[in-house]
C-alpha cells in the first residue's frame, strides 16, 4: 500500500512540474553584438547587448584574445559579472590597435544563471585590407583606383561562421557609396524588425561621413535612402544594424521614389528574383553633374545623387546548384535598373526603367560581374524578369 501511494505521489508531483499553471519562470538571458562582430584595425570598443529577465545573474569571460581585449579601458580585465536590470544592459569590450597585417579574433563567453551560454566572436582587421573583399565573390565589381575611394566589407556571424554582409566602394568626396554589392539569399532573410539606429560606419573615418542620426534638414524632400535595404538583412540583429551605417545611405527623393517605385523594386527582388542559387546585387548612387545638396544634422552640406541604379545577376533556372562562374552564358541572366533621383508617377517597376548592364557600366565607369561572359551583360529579356 505504501508503495502504491508513493508512486501516485511521484506521478502527481511530476505532472505538476510540467504544468504551466503556477510554475515559476526560470531566469534567462541572451547576448549579442550591438552593431558588428567585425572591427577596424584601430583601437576602439565594441558593445555587447544583453537582454533577459530582470534579476538574472550573468558572467562574462574573454576566453581568447585577452592580451588585446579587456572589459576595462584602463586595465586588463578578462572577466566580469553582474545582474540584468530592466531596459538596456550593455557590456563594452575594449581592444587595442592591431599592428599586424593579419586579421585576429577574440572570443567572449557570456553565461547566464540557469545554464544558458552564448559564445561571441570579435574579428579585428589587420593592416593589409585594400581592397577589403574577395574578388572571387560574384557580386564584386572590378577594382577601380580612385583618390577618394575606400573599399569596405562588413562581416557578420551566422550560425557560428563569419560571412560577408555587404561590400562597398565609398567616395569620401561625396560622403556616399558609389556602389554597394551583396548576395541576396533566403539565409539572410528572417523575421526581425529594423533597428532604425543610424550610426557612423566604424570602418570609415567619421570626418568623411555625413551625420544623419535624424532626418535631413530638407525632409520630407529627401529620405535617408538605403543602398542595401534593411529588409534584405533580417536574419540577425547584427546584419540589420549594419544597414543603418551612415555610409549606406544617401539623400534620396522620398515620395515617388524611395517610398514608392524604388521600394517596390526592392520588394520584387526579394519576392520574385531571389533564388536558391543566390541573386547577386549591386546598388549604386550616380552623381553625374550633381548640383543639389542636402544638409545633415550638423549643418554640413552633401551632394545629392542625380541617379540610382541596380544591376542583377543570377542563373536562369535559379536551382542549378552551380556557382555563376561555373555556368556558361546560356545559363545566366542579368538586368539593370536606372532611375533619376526624382518623384515618379508610376509606382511599379517596368521595362521603362531598365537598361543593359553594359550600358550602366558605360555610364558609371565601373565593370560589374567581371567573372561572367560579356555577352550576358549586353542584353536582357524583360519577360524572363517578369516585366512589361
Q: Quote the pLDDT of residue 39.
A: 83
Closest CA to 285 of 268, 305, 261: 305
In the chain, DSSP assigns E strands to: 29-33, 38-39, 44-52, 57-64, 69-70, 79-83, 89-95, 104-112, 117-124, 149-158, 161-171, 176-184, 222-226, 249-253, 279-286, 293-295, 301-303, 307-315, 332-340, 354-355
Please tell me which residue, 270 or 18, carries the higher pLDDT value: 270
* 163-180 tens-digit pLDDT: 999 999 999 999 999 999
As its CATH architecture, domain 130-388 has 3-Layer(aba) Sandwich (3.40)
- Fold classified for 28-127: Immunoglobulin-like (2.60.40)
* 365-377 tens-digit pLDDT: 999 999 899 999 9
Residue 129 has pLDDT above 70, yes or no: no
- pTM of the full predicted structure? 0.76
What are phi and psi for residue 156, nearest 5 degrees?
A: -140, 160
Q: Quote the pLDDT of residue 15.
A: 34
Each domain of the chain, given as residue ranges in start order, spans 28-127, 130-388
Whether 180 and 131 have beta carbons less than 8 Å apart is answered as no
Amino acid at each position: 500500500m505504501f508503495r502504491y501511494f508513493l508512486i501516485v505521489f511521484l506521478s502527481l508531483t511530476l505532472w505538476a512540474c510540467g504544468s504551466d499553471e503556477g510554475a515559476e519562470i526560470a531566469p534567462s538571458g541572451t547576448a549579442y553584438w550591438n552593431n558588428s562582430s567585425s572591427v577596424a584595425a584601430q583601437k576602439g570598443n565594441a558593445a555587447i547587448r544583453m537582454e533577459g529577465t530582470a534579476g538574472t545573474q550573468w558572467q562574462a569571460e574573454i576566453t581568447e584574445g585577452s592580451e588585446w581585449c579587456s572589459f576595462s579601458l584602463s586595465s586588463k580585465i578578462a572577466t566580469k559579472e553582474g545582474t540584468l536590470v530592466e531596459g538596456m544592459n550593455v557590456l563594452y569590450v575594449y581592444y587595442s590597435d592591431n599592428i599586424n597585417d593579419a586579421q585576429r579574433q577574440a572570443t567572449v563567453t557570456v553565461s547566464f544563471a540557469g545554464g544558458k551560454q552564448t559564445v561571441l566572436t570579435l574579428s579585428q582587421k589587420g593592416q593589409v585590407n585594400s581592397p577589403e573583399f574577395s574578388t572571387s565573390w560574384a557580386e564584386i565589381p572590378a577594382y577601380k583606383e580612385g583618390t577618394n575611394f575606400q573599399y569596405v566589407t562588413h562581416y557578420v556571424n551566422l550560425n557560428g561562421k563569419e560571412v560577408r554582409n555587404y561590400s562597398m566602394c565609398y567616395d569620401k568626396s561625396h560622403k556616399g557609396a558609389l556602389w554597394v554589392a551583396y548576395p541576396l539569399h533566403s539565409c539572410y532573410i528572417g523575421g526581425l524588425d529594423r533597428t532604425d539606429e543610424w550610426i557612423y560606419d566604424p570602418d570609415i573615418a567619421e570626418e568623411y561621413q555625413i551625420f544623419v542620426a535624424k532626418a535631413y534638414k530638407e525632409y520630407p524632400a529627401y529620405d535617408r535612402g538605403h543602398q542595401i535595404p534593411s529588409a534584405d538583412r533580417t536574419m540577425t540583429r547584427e546584419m540589420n544594424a549594419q544597414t543603418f551605417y551612415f555610409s549606406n545611405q544617401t539623400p534620396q527623393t522620398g515620395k515617388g521614389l524611395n517610398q514608392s517605385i524604388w521600394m517596390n523594386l526592392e520588394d520584387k527582388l526579394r519576392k520574385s528574383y531571389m533564388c536558391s542559387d543566390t541573386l547577386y546585387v549591386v546598388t549604386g548612387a550616380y552623381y553625374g553633374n550633381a548640383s543639389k545638396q542636402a544638409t545633415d544634422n550638423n549643418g554640413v552640406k552633401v551632394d545629392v545623387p542625380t541617379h540610382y541604379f541596380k544591376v542583377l545577376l543570377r542563373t536562369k533556372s535559379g536551382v542549378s546548384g552551380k556557382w555563376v562562374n561555373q555556368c556558361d552564358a546560356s545559363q545566366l541572366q542579368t538586368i539593370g535598373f536606372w532611375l533619376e533621383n526624382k518623384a515618379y508617377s508610376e509606382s511599379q517597376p517596368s521595362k521603362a526603367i531598365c537598361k543593359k548592364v553594359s550600358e550602366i557600366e558605360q555610364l558609371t565607369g565601373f565593370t560589374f560581374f567581371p567573372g561572367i561572359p560579356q555577352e550576358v551583360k549586353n542584353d536582357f529579356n524583360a519577360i524572363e524578369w517578369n516585366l512589361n
